[in-house]
Amino acid sequence: MSNDLGRVEDLPADYYNGLRARNTMPLWPSLRAALPYGKPARSTAPTLWRYQELRPDLMRAGELTPIEKAERRVLVLCNPGLGLEQLKATPSIYIGMQLILPGETAPNHLHTPSAVRFVVEGEGGYTIVRGEKLPMHRGDLILTPPGLWHQHGHEGTGPVVWLDALDLPVVLGLEASYCTEGAPQTVADSDNASNRRFRRAGVLPYGTLDRSRDDYPMLRFPWAQVREALQDLAGVTGRGDPVHLAYINPETGRECMPTLGFSALMLRPGEELRMRRRSASAVLHVVEGAVTAFVDDTRHAMEPADTLACPTHAVTCLANASATQPAFLFMVDDAPLQRKLGFYEQCG
């Protein structure tokens, strides 16, 4: 195998210009850029967004731009390695911080990208998806899948902020991203019934066995239940092994969304954890505690609500800064998409 491939400069000018005039290009001068040996070329920079620095800008956005002028009042977390104007945290993951104020309603719409909401602060917020009213408490994960109507509102006091995670870069790259606005939804399920149907792992409503599986049977994953499950798992997980839970479709056991994966991690007091190196890119968000993250050769001290982008194939190590209290993180990755495309891998 040789890296000494022919260059554009080696070609006669009339030949090369003729190719371009006919909307063609020779592959060999660019082959190593498209197919590098050993590991992919990466532009994504390990990037930390500190919530305490971002929050004042988000609150000022609430003063400067009424919801009627914003539709969704969001500050996008942009990776400098990919270009701020690209609106990407990683090549496949869009992350934003969204603000809604008391009495506001973000209008009903649907769109082609997959989206989730992970609540960062505040009480009184809610999301309505296909008529189900989903309360939003800190740490809750809310699904707003592609093609499903959803709207947001705020019945409490004080600001409510959540983290948006979408596969928008992928859908934009496919030239398939668009949105449709609709009339406000009528709430048909104000009791968040799906959480009652799927309250315990390993048991399902019996009737689900006699019908086709629902792509999105459960739209809200309460943090209180996820946190309790992590603590239970920690009691039966050996030191050095990750206390790590995936958010899944309770009827199929597969990822709860088609392209992005969502999971929660617990670091026990004083625990240092070397994550398995994976081909997936990821975004880490601290829910509770203080965490030091090492991504390749960079170090990041993270506090609650801080968010960190991790490139593909990165060596990632996490350390709980407290010797007495656990730390909890929420993770977004593109492993489901890579699995479907057939090249997901992990090692080490």
Beta-bridge mates of residue 342: none
As given in the structure block, the two tokens for residue 284 are 């880490």
Of 1.10.3720.10, 2.160.10.10, 2.60.120.10, 2.70.240.10, the CATH number of 47-347 is: 2.60.120.10
Distance of CA 309 to the CA centre of its chain: 10
As given in the structure block, the two tokens for residue 131 are 């008529």
* pLDDT tens digits, one per residue of 25-35: 999 999 999 99
Rounded to two decimals, the pTM is 0.95
**Order of strands across the sheet that contains 298-302:** 272-274, 316-320, 291-295, 298-302
State how far the Cα of 21 lies from the Cα of 15, in Å rounded to an integer.
10
State how far the Cα of 101 lies from the Cα of 122, in Å rounded to an integer.
10
* pLDDT tens digits, one per residue of 188-199: 987 788 888 888
State how far the Cα of 38 lies from the Cα of 296, in Å rounded to an integer.
17
* Among 323, 277, 288, 292, residue whose Cα is nearest residue 40: 277
Q: The tokens 């969204």 sit on which residue?
A: 98
Residue 312 clears pLDDT 80, i.e. is over it: yes
Do 46 and 314 meet the contact criterion of CB atoms below 8 Å apart?
A: yes
Question: Where do the domains of the chain lie?
Answer: 1-31, 47-347
Do 182 and 129 meet the contact criterion of CB atoms below 8 Å apart?
A: no
Please provide the average confidence, as pLDDT, over all residues in the chain: 95
* pLDDT tens digits, one per residue of 71-119: 999 999 999 999 999 999 999 999 999 999 999 999 999 999 999 999 9
Beta-bridge mates of residue 66: none
State how far the Cα of 233 lies from the Cα of 283, in Å rounded to an integer.
23
Residue 1 clears pLDDT 60, i.e. is over it: no
Q: Which residues contact 265 (CB under 8 A, 6 or more apart)?
A: 230, 242, 243, 244, 245, 318, 328, 329, 330, 331
pLDDT at 306: 98
